[in-house]
Structure 1
Amino acid sequence: MKKNYVNLILVSVFACCQLSSAQNKYEREFRIRKSQFPSTAHDVINNNIVGAKHLRFYQENDNNKVGFTAKFKKDKLWYSIDFNNEGTLEKIDILINSTDIPNETYSNIEQYLNTIFSNYRIIKLKQQYYSNNDTLEKTFKKAFQNLILSSNIYEIVIAGKKERGYLDYEIQFDSDGNFNNIRTALPSNYDHVLY
């Protein structure tokens, strides 16, 4: 009888662990050839980007969808442009430093991080421009001028420690530093390393 209770508890704990891990969104990004990149997305890049260096193409897979990303350097800034599976522009990211975020916004972000994590290390900061109702030209113009707008989203990738060890998180904040979204991220892909 006691063994049945132990088995029942173990099964329920295992089921709860499986359900809680299913809530996470896991992305994996890998490099692809130019020919594998959607032609409509490639046309958008050719028509709107001049003077890009180190242009590389990636495919992004997660639980729900497949997306494509073009990464490049332009005017001393690193950009990544995200497209959906059909080649439609979703957003433009710029890698930034903490000094590029307005002081009040950054202090709100730090305050949130200090309340949620006992310790953390910032891995990457991004300023995001979404192509909500804007034309392609307007979205690219905002991103390439690196404008600070009320529609900006800041995404921070951190290694954060809660009660049990460190995990990687992607956290989004609005232009005022208010929390929008958090998700657990997979650690970096090191498939290219040979042992």
Structure 2
Amino acid sequence: MKNYFIKLMFTAFLFCFHLGRSQHKHEREHRILKSQFPALAIEIIDENVIDFKRIKFYKEIDSTKISYEAKLKKDKLWYSIEFDQNGLLEDIEILIKPTDVPNNTYTKIVDYLNKNYLKYKIRRLQQQYYSSNLPIDEIFKNAFQNLMLPYINYELIVSGKKDKGYLEYEILFDADGNFKKIRTSLPPNYDHILY
């Protein structure tokens, strides 16, 4: 009977531990060769991106999916073009500064952060053009012209302090600064990325 109780408690502990871990984004990103990148994604980039510098290819593995990213510099801006496992476009992100966000939108984002964290620091701010029902060439055109459209999102990586200490969060807001979703993430392991 005692053995059964111990096994039951151990199983319950593992189950709770697994549930707790599934709430986090365990993201690992590593650089890969162009030949390891999905062929369809390479074709999409070749058809839609010209006059760029410093393109690098990455494979990103997190707790929910595998994706591929091409990071490049174009017109003095840093872009990240994300594809799914099959090479289909997921989104295009541009690294921006708070001054690039409309004032009303940024005010709403800051209000959300002030209400939900004792302290916080925005680590990264990206403007996101996601793959909606628009044709791929139009999504690329909109992103490379850096247009402020009603369907864009803002993705923030935030170190935020709550009662139990600091954690890193990935928070998504719509074009008006309305909260969309949040994921707790572990700091990415960048010690193996080639530069």
TM over 0.5: yes
Matches within 5 A, 1:104-119: 104-119=104-119
Cα separation, partners in 2 of 1:62 and 1:190, compared to 1, 3 Å? closer
1:117-174 residue CA offsets vs partner (Å, 9 max, x unmatched): 0001110000000121111110001001101111010000011111112111100001
Matches within 5 A, 1:78-117: 78-117=78-117
How many Å separate the matches in 1 of 2:106 and 2:131?
A: 24
SS at match of 1:113: helix
Q: Which runs of 5+ in 1 are unaligned?
A: none
Name the TM-score, length of structure 1 as normaliser. 0.89
The percentage of counterpart residues that share the same residue type is 51
Q: Which runs of 5+ in 2 are unaligned?
A: none
How many Å separate the matches in 2 of 1:81 and 1:91?
A: 6
Contact 2:29–2:188, Cα closer than 8 Å, also in 1: no
- Deviation for aligned residue 1:18: 3.5
Cα separation, partners in 2 of 1:14 and 1:64, compared to 1, 3 Å? closer
Q: Which has the higher contact order (CA 8 A, sep 6+)?
A: 2
Amino acid of the structure 2 residue aligned with 1:92: I
SS at match of 1:40: helix
Aligned to 1:54: 54
SS at match of 2:188: coil
Contact 2:96–2:126, Cα closer than 8 Å, also in 1: yes
- More deviation in 181-190 or 49-58? 181-190
- More deviation in 49-58 or 13-22? 13-22
How many Å separate the matches in 2 of 1:81 and 1:189?
A: 20
Aligned to 1:145: 145
Amino acid of the structure 2 residue aligned with 1:133: N
How many Å separate the matches in 1 of 2:115 and 2:10?
A: 33
1:85-118 residue CA offsets vs partner (Å, 9 max, x unmatched): 1111111000000001000000000000001100
- More deviation in 182-191 or 26-35? 182-191
Aligned to 2:158: 158
Amino acid of the structure 2 residue aligned with 1:177: G
How many Å separate the matches in 2 of 1:12 and 1:86?
A: 37
SS at match of 2:106: helix
RMSD, matched Cα: 2.2
Aligned to 1:126: 126
Amino acid of the structure 1 residue aligned with 2:96: I
SS at match of 1:115: helix
Aligned to 1:21: 21
- Deviation for aligned residue 1:64: 2.7
Contact 2:153–2:175, Cα closer than 8 Å, also in 1: yes
Q: Is the aligned partner of 1:188 residue 2:188?
A: yes
SS at match of 1:43: helix
How many Å separate the matches in 2 of 1:10 and 1:66?
A: 31
Name the TM-score, length of structure 2 as normaliser. 0.89
